Amino acid sequence: MKDKQTIIVLDFGGQYKDLIARRVRELGVYSIILSGDTTTKEILSYNPIGIITTGGPKSVYKPDSPLCDKGLLESGIPVLGICYGMQMMAYVQGGTVESASVSEYGQTSGTVISESPLFEKVGNDLKVLMSHTDRITKIPEGFTVTAYTNDCPIAAMENKEKNLYGVQFHPEVTHTLKGKTIIRNFLYNICNAKGDYNMKNYIETAIEEIRKQVGNEQVLLGLSGGVDSAVCAALISKAVPNQLVCIFVDHGFMRKNEAEEVKQAFADKSLKLIAVDASERFLKKLEGVTDPERKRKIIGAEFVEVFNDEALKLGRIKFLAQGTIYPDVIESGNGKAATIKSHHNVGGLPEKMGFSGLVEPLRGLFKDEVRKVGRELGLPEAITERQPFPGPGLAIRIIGEITKEKLDMLREADYIYREELGKLKKKPSQYFAVLTNTRTVGVMGDERTYGYVLALRAVITGDFMTADYAHIPQSVLARISTRITNEVHGITRIVYDITGKPPATIEWE
């Protein structure tokens, strides 16, 4: 986003760096995350309107701890130091940081004691999230203390002349009640932000960039049915109509109606969609396979083969597009990554096809922003609001051997479950059904039945790394149980999974 005002989030290892970057964007300012060891010269090359230094697990006074360059703090560019970021600001400029006798963790009350552009419209009473053992015991020359808590006499400080501000607490989390106002104040009162970032202009800029990069050439994209590749396709087809070729491999493990939804969503778009029904081919390969890892490997390899066969039929295409998003970029090394995602549908293809460039228009976006772009581009909700879905699909939600009958059974049951939970006001983060490999005795009318046990899974999570099982109202579970056992032949018993992650994973296989 070359022509947009930019905030740099300098990462010193804190767990909230993504959250800080997202908050800034939600407030209408573009942000990027750079590693704490980025040189001042490189940081300045982005022409940032402000810098936010994040928290981190180390102690600033230990020899191997990362510190920012003093020159950066002297550059006149506004800096907001958060937690470790604030301690570093103090330490680098001659203040003192020490380990406190009492650690402060959790929500704490605090008081603002001097007028500060950072605390405008915040009031004097603070409710903030603290998470620290070290604290500043002496501020550097030229600074004033602007807030304190019971256990932390220097909870915020500033040097207006140098445009340096620090808070010991975490304004980026919702546990800090006026945190968003504090970040807004930093952006608009201190950095003079214009608020020139939103999804509409992201789309405009992305379209211009795609046109410039691609010219009159063709672009190839693997559509997986997920949000990222779908939004990527919609964006590229809008930028360069009729130059995008999408290959959609239906491995037969999609949920009910899903393959149709993907095809329909793109039926009226200016692109060429090649939908390959490879379900029989995949089922054949999986005959007799019960081990989860083998299932995944076989599906992954087969996917590459089907995709590549189709791609090679197309002749030379110059560009490969990918739905890489910002978290993929951050995870693979702080914005330096430019490699091809180890995405299952492009393995080995880049060399064979000799692509001369990668098109990744979502590279700068977080997931919620990708969904927004999708909505702006008119994609249906069934796609933009889609839950995460594993690449191997229902194949890893059928325990044991996969057969066509089991797939049909699971598809129906899963559909009913998702339909009912979809009616809840507050929906879990992810919910799906699993067909176990256990059969139990049941009774229907006067008949004895012998059918499968179906497990229902629903979790609440922010990052999918840890999760709690969702507390679904009993009446809803009862309705789902009745519907599934009545409507899906072959299922006699329903159980609800009450395990968190850890110790379980979200998926069963």
Return the active site residues: 83, 170, 172
Q: Which stretch binds ligand XMP (CB under 6 A): 129-137, 182-190, 191-199, 498-506?
A: 498-506
Question: Could you say which of 13, 388, 400, 500 contacts ligand XMP (CB under 6 A)?
Answer: 388
* Minimum distance from residue 374 beta carbon to ligand XMP (Å): 18
377-383, long-range: CB within 8 Å, 24+ apart, which pairs?
A: 377/203, 377/231, 377/234, 377/235, 377/238, 378/234, 379/230, 379/231, 379/234, 379/265, 380/261, 380/264, 380/265, 382/261, 382/265, 383/227, 383/230, 383/261, 383/262, 383/265
Contacts with ligand XMP by CB under 6 A: the residue count is 10
- Dist. CA 254–CA 168, nearest whole Å: 47
Q: Which stretch binds ligand XMP (CB under 6 A): 23-31, 199-207, 330-338, 390-398?
A: 390-398
* Site for ligand XMP contains 464 (CB under 6 A): yes
Closer residue to ligand XMP, CB minimum distance, 100 or 460: 460
Amino acid at 410: L
Q: Which stretch binds ligand XMP (CB under 6 A): 314-322, 403-411, 478-486, 499-507?
A: 499-507
**Bond prior to 502 in cis (omega within 30° of 0):** yes
* Site for ligand XMP contains 500 (CB under 6 A): no
Q: Which stretch binds ligand XMP (CB under 6 A): 103-111, 119-127, 318-326, 500-508?
A: 500-508
Closer residue to ligand XMP, CB minimum distance, 162 or 457: 457
- Give me the 331-370 binding string for ligand XMP, x by CB under 6 A, dash otherwise: ----------------------------------------
Residue with tokens 């809803």: 476
Query: β-strand 272-277 against 50-53: which pairing, if any?
Result: unpaired
Q: Which stretch binds ligand XMP (CB under 6 A): 57-65, 82-90, 271-279, 501-509?
A: 501-509
Helical spans, DSSP H, in 27-92: 40-45, 70-73, 84-92
* Minimum distance from residue 326 beta carbon to ligand XMP (Å): 17
Cα 458–464–467 angle (5° rounding)?
Answer: 55
CB of 417 closer than 8 Å to CB of 470? no
* Site for ligand XMP contains 506 (CB under 6 A): yes
* Site for ligand XMP contains 507 (CB under 6 A): yes
* Site for ligand XMP contains 501 (CB under 6 A): yes
Closer residue to ligand XMP, CB minimum distance, 179 or 428: 428
* Minimum distance from residue 390 beta carbon to ligand XMP (Å): 3
* Minimum distance from residue 467 beta carbon to ligand XMP (Å): 7
Question: Could you say which of 391, 393, 428, 451 contacts ligand XMP (CB under 6 A)?
Answer: 391
User: First and final CA of the chain: distance in angstroms?
Assistant: 40
- Dist. CA 467–CA 458, nearest whole Å: 10
Closer residue to ligand XMP, CB minimum distance, 279 or 499: 499
Question: Could you say which of 31, 176, 430, 436 contacts ligand XMP (CB under 6 A)?
Answer: 430
Closer residue to ligand XMP, CB minimum distance, 380 or 390: 390
Q: Which of residues 47-66 bind ligand XMP (CB under 6 A)?
A: none
* Minimum distance from residue 508 beta carbon to ligand XMP (Å): 8
* Site for ligand XMP contains 505 (CB under 6 A): yes
Edge-to-edge strand ranges of the sheet holding 319-321: 272-277, 244-250, 219-223, 319-321, 357-359
CB of 57 closer than 8 Å to CB of 13? yes
Strands (E), 319-405: 319-321, 357-359
Cα 472–473–474 angle (5° rounding)?
Answer: 110
Neighbours of 56 (CB within 10 A): 22
Closer residue to ligand XMP, CB minimum distance, 34 or 223: 223
- Dist. CA 366–CA 322, nearest whole Å: 15
Helical spans, DSSP H, in 335-473: 349-353, 367-376, 381-384, 404-421
DSSP 161: T
* Minimum distance from residue 386 beta carbon to ligand XMP (Å): 11
Structure tokens belonging to residue 265: 């969503």
* Minimum distance from residue 456 beta carbon to ligand XMP (Å): 15
Closer residue to ligand XMP, CB minimum distance, 103 or 466: 466
Edge-to-edge strand ranges of the sheet holding 152-159: 30-35, 6-11, 50-53, 79-82, 164-167, 152-159, 144-149, 96-112, 125-138
* Site for ligand XMP contains 390 (CB under 6 A): yes
* Minimum distance from residue 399 beta carbon to ligand XMP (Å): 14
* Minimum distance from residue 33 beta carbon to ligand XMP (Å): 22
Closer residue to ligand XMP, CB minimum distance, 106 or 502: 502
* Site for ligand XMP contains 392 (CB under 6 A): yes
Closer residue to ligand XMP, CB minimum distance, 24 or 394: 394
Q: Spell out the residues 6+ positions from residue 34 whose beta carbon is closer than 8 angstroms to its own.
A: 8, 9, 10, 11, 42, 43, 334, 335
* Minimum distance from residue 247 beta carbon to ligand XMP (Å): 18
Closer residue to ligand XMP, CB minimum distance, 81 or 391: 391
Amino acid at 331: E
3 state DSSP class of 239: helix
Cα 434–436–442 angle (5° rounding)?
Answer: 110
Q: Which residues bind ligand XMP (CB under 6 A)?
A: 388, 390-392, 430, 464, 501, 505-507
